Chains A and B, each alone.
Chain A
Amino acid sequence: MLTIEHLRKSFGGVAAINDVSLHFEPGSLTAVIGPNGAGKTTFFNLITGAYRPDAGRVVLGGEDIAGLPAPVIMRRGMGRAFQVASIFSSLTVRESILGAVNAHRRDYAQLLRRFPLARAQSHADEVMELVGLSARAHVLSGNLSHGDQKLLDIALALALEPRVLLLDEPTAGMGSEERWQMIETVHQLWARKQITLIFIEHDMDIVFQYAQTIRVLSYGKVLAEGTAEQVRRNPAVIEAYLGAHFEGRAA
């Protein structure tokens, strides 16, 4: 589904992503982990068109999308949510999702009809139900709680019916209980939609419990990849990121 080949990106001579090659199976649930500054968000930025790669290919469904602008990449079947919830503060939840559905259906520049378009409404309602925001449909997005703003950010991406969904730290800034609720929601929507889901996460308990496969980045390179058990026991990962206590927990 998504294949990254020899991806490179440098900023001022510093290699943020250095010859990264990865493959993501269709319908897989993958966590990308690594220490701060490992290049995880840069990796997302490169494959979603926020940055142009210096070299390498990003192949989505057989087509090289590397270097295309973000709106074009989103149209090719990619969806993305951000580390800091990226929403439309002055619109209600429903208006925001309807706007995203319009974008997906290329109705967003319609001048002659009235908002909301009848054909967008059922899809928007379905997305709100999927992430559990139906009860807050008419709340201004800027007035939502932090957790709900993160959910809305994911809902906006889901409205595009993406083949590949990238979530940058979906549980960032949340309390312990809220984190588990969020990841459970993410897991359920992955199971229901059968999309390829890739998420960046720092909570290792969440990563090891939910991710089918894990990719570890360090200093812009792929340090390790495999199942939770394989990554947890990898000495290089323990040394660079997890620390000795994880080795003990694995034992």
Chain B
Amino acid sequence: MIRSALGRDLLFAVGGLILLAALPLVFPGKAFADFVIRLSAFAIYATSLNLLIGYGGLVSFGHGLFYGLGAYSFALLMQKAGTSIPLAFALTILINGAVAAVIGAICIRLKEIYFSFLTLAFQMLLHSLIIAWTSVTGGDQGLTGGVPRPPFLGIRLDDPRHLYLFCCAVLVVSLFIMRHLVQSPFGYTLRMIRDNPRRAAFLGIHVWRIRLLAFVVAGIFGGVGGMLISLFVSSAYPDFAYWTVSGEGVFMILLGGMGVFLGPLAGAGILLLLNDLVTRLTEHYSLVLGIVILAFALGLRKGVLGFLKDWWTKRAAGTKGRQSAATPAA
């Protein structure tokens, strides 16, 4: 049973990766590949935020900090330190984890709205630092000169096909790891704390430690999303660390559904599609997005995948009921 659950997820991950790898055969255009790469970055970022919001009940308004930090750390390591891509990836994960541990240790003890706004304050602090520290970050122009993509292990990320496959692989591996974490004892403890932190404490659970661990894990994967976008645009911009990125993460979760693991992935897809389609038709993108969010808040509160899950559950229950009614009594 236990092995089969892990095996099922593994199978799903491998199947997903094969599907993603094959999709360019059907959609060969560059626009599609670019869309999937951006989706990979945002999906990892939004899923990591959902570890906090959906599983931990910690509504962070400043998660974009880690997206921006990941993008800048990775880009700077590649550009200024000339490290290899795997080493820059590893170091960025370490930097994000360490920063998340420090910020989390300060924020986690606060409750609800105070937690939310303090995380936002830290994000804006990073944004201000990026703007002000022009000699290192390029200020409001972002990093200029591009991010080098030296080959490693036969992978050449300056080849669009390799970049596409690499981003897909990082997406699948990240989602698989986060899926495993939410299905681990830690994941269930996180749900317990979300539901009733006081009760959890009276079971001997150190609530603060678990929340901090979740914050660090989310910070790391938020940074992985930032690394992918930095690789894609071959730079890093202050907008990556702006508060709107945090808002978009929350929107993605709301659109896709926070109660389903892949909800943020679906939400990221919807938001990116909306962005790409609406901006072609009108300059009033924010207005359209606002209306869509309002419609979801009023009519589809569990998000698209949450709605589909409920519909499927009810349908399955109905089918089962009809079958039982049709079965003659023994």
| A interface list, Cβ under 8 A from B | 48, 50, 69-72, 74-75, 80, 82, 86-91, 95-96, 98-100, 102-104, 107-118, 156-157, 159-160
The number of A-B residue pairs with CB atoms under 8 Å apart is 102
Chain B positions within 8 Å of A69 at CB level: 201
Answer whether residue B191 sits at the interface, using C-beta atoms and an 8 A cutoff: yes
B151 to A: closest C-beta gap in Å: 33
- Cα-based distance from A104 to B192 in the complex (angstroms): 14
Tell which of B185, B206, B209 touches A102, judged by Cβ atoms closer than 8 Å. Answer: B185
B201 to A: closest C-beta gap in Å: 5
- Cα-based distance from A250 to B282 in the complex (angstroms): 85
Chain A's closest residue to B9 (CB) is A114
Chain B's closest residue to A100 (CB) is B203
Tell which of A90, A102, A108, A113 touches B195, judged by Cβ atoms closer than 8 Å. Answer: A90
25 contacts between A and B (CB under 8 A): A48-B202, A69-B201, A71-B203, A71-B207, A74-B202, A74-B203, A80-B202, A87-B195, A87-B196, A88-B195, A89-B195, A90-B195, A91-B192, A91-B195, A99-B191, A103-B204, A104-B203, A108-B185, A108-B210, A109-B189, A111-B184, A113-B184, A114-B180, A156-B199, A160-B203
Chain A positions within 8 Å of B195 at CB level: 87-91
* Given A96-B192, A109-B186, A115-B188: A71 touches B199 (CB 8 Å cut-off): no
Please state if A111 and B202 are interface contacts (CB–CB under 8 Å).
no
Chain A positions within 8 Å of B196 at CB level: 86-89
Chain A positions within 8 Å of B198 at CB level: 86
Please state if A156 and B210 are interface contacts (CB–CB under 8 Å).
no
Please state if A115 and B199 are interface contacts (CB–CB under 8 Å).
no
* Given A91-B191, A99-B189, A114-B6: A109 touches B209 (CB 8 Å cut-off): yes
Chain A positions within 8 Å of B200 at CB level: 103
Answer whether residue B187 sits at the interface, using C-beta atoms and an 8 A cutoff: yes
Please state if B204 and A114 are interface contacts (CB–CB under 8 Å).
no
Answer whether residue B21 sits at the interface, using C-beta atoms and an 8 A cutoff: no
Given contacts A99-B203, A110-B184, A115-B184, 9 further A-B contacts (CB under 8 A): A48-B202, A70-B201, A71-B203, A71-B204, A90-B191, A99-B191, A100-B203, A112-B184, A160-B204
B46 to A: closest C-beta gap in Å: 21
Chain A positions within 8 Å of B206 at CB level: 71
Most central of A91, A100, A102, A108 by chain B CB within 10 Å: A108
Question: Which chain B residues in 188-222 approach chain A with CB under 8 Å?
Answer: 188-189, 191-192, 194-196, 198-207, 209-210, 213
Most central of A48, A107, A115, A118 by chain B CB within 10 Å: A115
Chain B positions within 8 Å of A80 at CB level: 202
Answer whether residue B53 sits at the interface, using C-beta atoms and an 8 A cutoff: no
Chain B positions within 8 Å of A102 at CB level: 185, 188-189
Chain B positions within 8 Å of A90 at CB level: 191, 194-195
Answer whether residue B183 sits at the interface, using C-beta atoms and an 8 A cutoff: yes
| B interface list, Cβ under 8 A from A | 2, 5-6, 180-181, 183-189, 191-192, 194-196, 198-207, 209-210, 213
Chain B positions within 8 Å of A111 at CB level: 181, 184, 186
- Cα-based distance from A159 to B203 in the complex (angstroms): 9
Tell which of B185, B194, B203, B205 touches A110, judged by Cβ atoms closer than 8 Å. Answer: B185
Please state if A118 and B2 are interface contacts (CB–CB under 8 Å).
yes
A49 to B: closest C-beta gap in Å: 8
A74 to B: closest C-beta gap in Å: 4
Please state if B185 and A156 are interface contacts (CB–CB under 8 Å).
no
- Cα-based distance from A118 to B1 in the complex (angstroms): 10
Chain A positions within 8 Å of B186 at CB level: 108-111
* Given A86-B199, A87-B199, A109-B210: A71 touches B205 (CB 8 Å cut-off): yes
Chain A's closest residue to B185 (CB) is A110
Please state if B2 and A75 are interface contacts (CB–CB under 8 Å).
no
Chain B's closest residue to A88 (CB) is B195
- Cα-based distance from A88 to B213 in the complex (angstroms): 20
Chain B positions within 8 Å of A98 at CB level: 188
The 8 closest A-B pairs by CB, nearest first: A74-B204, A110-B185, A88-B195, A103-B203, A86-B199, A108-B189, A115-B188, A70-B201
- Cα-based distance from A48 to B189 in the complex (angstroms): 21
- Cα-based distance from A136 to B5 in the complex (angstroms): 23
B53 to A: closest C-beta gap in Å: 14
* Given A89-B195, A114-B5, A114-B6: A109 touches B202 (CB 8 Å cut-off): no
- Cα-based distance from A85 to B209 in the complex (angstroms): 25
- Cα-based distance from A80 to B185 in the complex (angstroms): 22
B7 to A: closest C-beta gap in Å: 10
Chain B positions within 8 Å of A112 at CB level: 184
Most central of A86, A87, A88, A104 by chain B CB within 10 Å: A88
Please state if A70 and B202 are interface contacts (CB–CB under 8 Å).
yes
Chain B positions within 8 Å of A48 at CB level: 202
- Cα-based distance from A88 to B184 in the complex (angstroms): 17
Chain A positions within 8 Å of B181 at CB level: 111
- Cα-based distance from A9 to B233 in the complex (angstroms): 61
Chain B positions within 8 Å of A118 at CB level: 2
